[in-house]
């Protein structure tokens, strides 16, 4: 029997419900006895789906009004060559959709009072080898850093909802550990073949989060009315690429002696994308979660990798 949680938000609209994070979150919420209504692009199937017209940038406000909260996770994938068209897709899928959703919620006389929107630690730009950033720190250079600029606009797009008195939470997500998608999934094949190794200098910082904990963080943010604004969804101990490489090799029981030169990811993803996502540092800590007493299930990278890869 699913666990019932009558004191929690029970009716939740969810975009990105078939994605890596969304599907895991959906499973957890349903297991708790909550009602999850997927927000679907195009024409809804006539069931529990909530229609999202991506061409007109509109949402079914009547259906949204029946929910307690909205979780907006959808967005164009960021890996790949950052052509002008790709950048527009990445930005528009986040900024315009969030703005449209915020306006729809703000226009409801009696609708959801919580809006949780995904964001990213790319907000801080390349942090280099300096101290770790927290939610109290400013964004990266939005004039030169594409991801920082997108994240700033993405979070600002929810302002109409906030102005209407809706509680808005921005979940700045780090590198999600899961074999089913994201950075870790892309690493698995070469590492399993014994071809994994330190990328570039290996000194670049990686702020990671186990998928299990990320879902728990979103649940935590949904259920606690005192949580608002940005929260860094990362484990408390970021690691360098060299440390990550060693840990993954150990868990997979494969050698990691072949270094990957910096030009390799640039050839694969293009220079700008590679510099931001592979070769650059983003050293971030979850200050607000720690201050709120949130208990991480996985603070040790080795334990997190063993769990997510089924090698506990």
pTM: 0.94
What are the tens digits of pLDDT across the range 256-291?
Answer: 999 999 999 999 999 999 999 999 999 999 999 999
Phi, psi of 5 (to 5 degrees): -130, 75
Contact (Cβ atoms closer than 8 angstroms) between residue 41 and residue 76: no
What are the tens digits of pLDDT across the range 208-253?
Answer: 999 999 999 999 999 999 999 999 999 999 999 999 999 999 999 9
Q: Copy the structure tokens of residue 100.
A: 């449209």
Contact (Cβ atoms closer than 8 angstroms) between residue 184 and residue 177: yes
- CATH 3.40.50.720, domain 11-308, yes or no: yes
| % of the chain beyond a pLDDT of 90 | 92
Sorted by where each begins, the domain ranges of the chain are 11-308
Q: How far is residue 218's CA from residue 224's CA, in Å, rounded to a whole number?
A: 10
């Amino acid at each position: 029997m699913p666990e019932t949680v009558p004191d929690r938000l029970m009716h939740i609209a969810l975009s990105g419900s078939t994605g890596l994070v969304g599907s895991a979150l959906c499973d957890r919420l349903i297991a708790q006895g909550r009602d999850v209504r997927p927000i679907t692009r195009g024409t809804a199937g006539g069931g529990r789906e909530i229609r999202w017209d991506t061409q007109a940038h509109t949402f079914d406000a009547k259906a949204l009004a029946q929910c307690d909260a909205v979780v907006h996770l959808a967005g164009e994938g960021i890996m790949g060559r950052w052509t002008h068209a790709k950048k527009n897709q990445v930005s528009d899928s986040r900024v315009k959709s969030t703005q449209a959703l915020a306006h729809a919620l703000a226009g409801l006389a009696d609708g959801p009072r919580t809006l949780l929107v995904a964001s990213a630690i790319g907000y801080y730009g390349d942090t280099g080898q300096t101290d770790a950033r927290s939610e109290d720190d400013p964004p990266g250079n939005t004039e030169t850093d594409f991801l920082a600029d997108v994240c700033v606009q993405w979070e600002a797009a929810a302002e109409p909802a906030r102005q209407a008195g809706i509680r808005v939470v921005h979940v700045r997500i780090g590198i999600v550990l899961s074999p089913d998608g994201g950075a870790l999934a892309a690493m698995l094949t070469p590492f399993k073949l014994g071809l994994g190794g330190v990328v570039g200098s290996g000194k670049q910082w990686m702020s990671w989060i186990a998928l299990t904990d990320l879902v728990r963080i979103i649940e935590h943010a949904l259920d606690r009315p005192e949580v608002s604004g940005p929260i860094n969804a990362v484990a408390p101990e970021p690691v360098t690429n060299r440390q990550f490489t060693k840990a993954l090799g150990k868990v997979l029981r494969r050698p990691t002696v072949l270094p990957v030169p910096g030009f390799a990811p640039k050839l694969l993803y293009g220079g700008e994308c590679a510099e931001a996502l592979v070769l650059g540092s983003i050293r971030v800590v979850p200050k607000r979660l720690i201050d709120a007493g949130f208990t991480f299930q996985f603070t040790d990278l080795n334990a997190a990798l063993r769990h997510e890869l089924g090698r506990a």
